[in-house]
Structure 1
Amino acid sequence: NKELAKSVADEYHINYYLDYAEMVKNEDLDAVSVALPPSIIPLVANDIAKEGIDVLLEKPLCTSLEDLTPLLKYQEVRLTCGFIECFNPVIERLRKQLPELGTPIMISSRRIGRMPRRFWNLGVLLDLGIHEISVQRLLFGEVIKVQSSLSYFHKEEYEDAAFILLDFADNVKGLIEVNWLTPAKYRKVVVYGSEGVIEVDYITQEIKLIRSLEDPVFYRVEESKQPYSWDEPLKIELNAFLYGKENPFPLEEGIKNLEVALKCLKGAI
């Protein structure tokens, strides 16, 4: 869209290109964010990485694990995966509070809302579900078993609702609900433990710890925290990608998330 590219370039006083290869050739680039349809992300990322330029790959990275294999050879270039919720400050606070729950039992994530305006020839599992897979793996490690059920309301080829069950080590269970069907936007995760429950809202960045005490009868105790100043996860992600001493989300970890998501698609009932 030449007109749109020109209007953005004029607003920010920058150059614009209709061919990314010309941009790579003509500009002195430190890094590039590749936010394109997943089917072409690996191709574009490879063309940029081979020039020694760091690359931020938008989730879900691609739709085939084999397409990402050529990128693993770039050891001197930073290839970072854009799983934005892993950079949400409320998830870091959740990680720090996990010991207060005692023994973890299960984690439940719900990420629902309307159909996105853009369509990239994939379903809700690779669009929304992979966000929650990345967060649950961040909190509880490797997935040892997956189960899933998909629903098709609008298109027979691509699911618009998915229910995912994950098994982690130490007998922790994960539940993920995602859809493109509901009018309300909902982004929450709940972790259940033997000593309490933590509820997190990605959007408001509120975190709530719920426990029960006996004095002399059982009663419910809630402790809720919500920041006055809302931190933008995308800004944190970009700063970590550009300036962090370590790669904040290496390609290898992103591949593991994609692998779990593809298993959910393949083994769905």
Structure 2
Amino acid sequence: MALRVGVIGLGDVSVVHINAISMNKDADLVAVCDIDESKRSLVKGANFYTDYNEMIEKENLDCVHICLPHHLHYPVTKDITSKNINVLLEKPLCLNIDEVNKFNELDKKTDANICICLQNRYNYTVKTLLEIIKSNKYGDIKAIKGIVAWSRSESYYSTKPWRGKMKYSGGGVMINQAIHTIDLMQLFGGEIESIKGNINNLLDYDIEVEDTATANINFKNGSRGTFISTVAYGDNSSVEIEIILEKARFVIKDNILYKYENGTKEVVAKDILFEGAKHYYGSGHAELISNYYNSLINKDNNFIHVSDAENSIRIIEYIRNSSKENKLINWGN
């Protein structure tokens, strides 16, 4: 029997979720919810609600996708799981470390599952590179670089004002545009020793959040990470992640994994891209969603948990605090 699925929030990223749900044989999208009544006819065949509490009371759902502004992630997840309904939560996990702690407590107490949508972990390039690193064929990691250079107009913030306010968004470029890059850097690099970071605003926008952030991340294995992110660029450039190992250099760019060794360049892997999808959403949504549904059906617990997603929020807050205090901050402090 197919899982009965609902979606809360019919904004930009919900389109990717709805498409993935519609293509999945293990799920039926039976209900959607948004406070905007004009979106009632957006999803054919699904019952529409403006109150998610009413939706979860009436629809007997197995899983709910939460695609809402960041400040709603924790309270809505808490409400949904209180009814023992499983959750698939769009990134980020939450606003800050205080909410990370609340999420960890919630995750321990509830019998429902909470999966966090860090879908770039499912990109073929990322999985291939992770296998290469773990094999140690090319030696230990020496350095990691992550670059996000994108463009966001002032209307990006003015049309959805929550994006520019700290109490609603939890930040700017780091938590909204670069969180997948931060997540992958710590996934590749392992445990963190310390962070020194800086945040700034290069654009003259009327917003509270940063549009630019940089950081030096020291990993316990002795490698160093350099993180650079901005939405002050003139266009959306490809995200770039570089891993330097002792015997070779690997770069993910334009959804292709390249290997540089002894003066040669080789294509190692390519991501599968879906026609019409925004390139910066990546290609992993459908696989992550399918994997989560299989985990719910098979009860195998094989998905991205709250504990997997919390480090990206911690890194963001450490960078912010390091910038504010103008000093290196040791992990765990």
The residue number in structure 2 matching 1:163 is: 214
- How high is the TM-score relative to the length of structure 2? 0.72
Deviations 1:107-149 (A, max 9, x none): 1011221227345233111112322221112112221211111
**What is the SS of the residue equivalent to 1:184?**
coil
The residue number in structure 1 matching 2:232 is: 181
Alignment check: 8 A CA contact 2:144 2:189 kept:
no
Alignment check: 8 A CA contact 1:50 1:74 kept:
no
Alignment check: 8 A CA contact 2:191 2:221 kept:
no
Unaligned 5+ segments in structure 2 are 1-35, 166-170, 275-282, 327-333
Q: Pick from 320, 328, 333: which aligns with 1:265? A: 320
Tell me, in whole angstroms, the C-alpha distance in 2 between the residues paired with 1:229 and 1:249.
20
Deviations 1:220-241 (A, max 9, x none): 1111145485373110111122
For the pair 1:76 / 2:108, whether they are aligned, the reply is: no
For the pair 1:199 / 2:251, whether they are aligned, the reply is: yes
Alignment check: 8 A CA contact 1:49 1:74 kept:
no
Tell me, in whole angstroms, the C-alpha distance in 2 between the residues paired with 1:227 and 1:159.
32
The residue number in structure 2 matching 1:43 is: 75
Alignment check: 8 A CA contact 1:55 1:80 kept:
yes
Tell me, in whole angstroms, the C-alpha distance in 1 between the residues paired with 2:89 and 2:270.
29
The residue number in structure 1 matching 2:126 is: 91
Tell me, in whole angstroms, the C-alpha distance in 2 between the residues paired with 1:254 and 1:138.
10
Question: Which has a greater percent of strand?
Answer: 1
The residue number in structure 1 matching 2:303 is: 248
Tell me, in whole angstroms, the C-alpha distance in 2 between the residues paired with 1:75 and 1:95.
31
- How high is the TM-score relative to the length of structure 1? 0.88
**What is the SS of the residue equivalent to 2:106?**
helix
Deviations 1:20-58 (A, max 9, x none): 101101112111111111111100000000111111222
Q: CA deviation at 1:90?
A: 1.0
**Letter matched to residue 62 of structure 2:** D
The residue number in structure 2 matching 1:221 is: 264
**What is the SS of the residue equivalent to 1:238?**
helix
Q: CA deviation at 1:156?
A: 5.8
Alignment check: 8 A CA contact 2:114 2:305 kept:
yes
The residue number in structure 2 matching 1:124 is: 173
Q: CA deviation at 1:175?
A: 1.2
Moved more, 28-37 or 55-64: 55-64
Alignment check: 8 A CA contact 1:129 1:261 kept:
no
Q: CA deviation at 1:103?
A: 2.2
Distance 1:165 1:129, change over 3 A: farther
Alignment check: 8 A CA contact 2:125 2:271 kept:
no
Tell me, in whole angstroms, the C-alpha distance in 2 between the residues paired with 1:229 and 1:41.
29
Q: Pick from 210, 222, 229: which aligns with 2:260? A: 210
**Letter matched to residue 213 of structure 2:** A
Q: CA deviation at 1:100?
A: 3.7
Tell me, in whole angstroms, the C-alpha distance in 1 between the residues paired with 2:320 and 2:178.
11
Percent identity, aligned pairs only, is: 18
For the pair 1:56 / 2:82, whether they are aligned, the reply is: no
Alignment check: 8 A CA contact 2:192 2:219 kept:
yes
The residue number in structure 1 matching 2:189 is: 140
Tell me, in whole angstroms, the C-alpha distance in 1 between the residues paired with 2:264 and 2:90.
40
Alignment check: 8 A CA contact 1:59 1:82 kept:
yes
**Letter matched to residue 42 of structure 1:** Y
Alignment check: 8 A CA contact 2:144 2:224 kept:
yes
Alignment check: 8 A CA contact 2:249 2:261 kept:
yes
Alignment check: 8 A CA contact 2:124 2:270 kept:
no
Alignment check: 8 A CA contact 1:197 1:209 kept:
yes
Deviations 1:47-99 (A, max 9, x none): 00011111122222221333341423334211111112112221001112223
Unaligned 5+ segments in structure 1 are 213-219
**Letter matched to residue 79 of structure 1:** I
Tell me, in whole angstroms, the C-alpha distance in 2 between the residues paired with 1:207 and 1:51.
42
Moved more, 64-73 or 233-242: 64-73
Distance 1:18 1:75, change over 3 A: closer
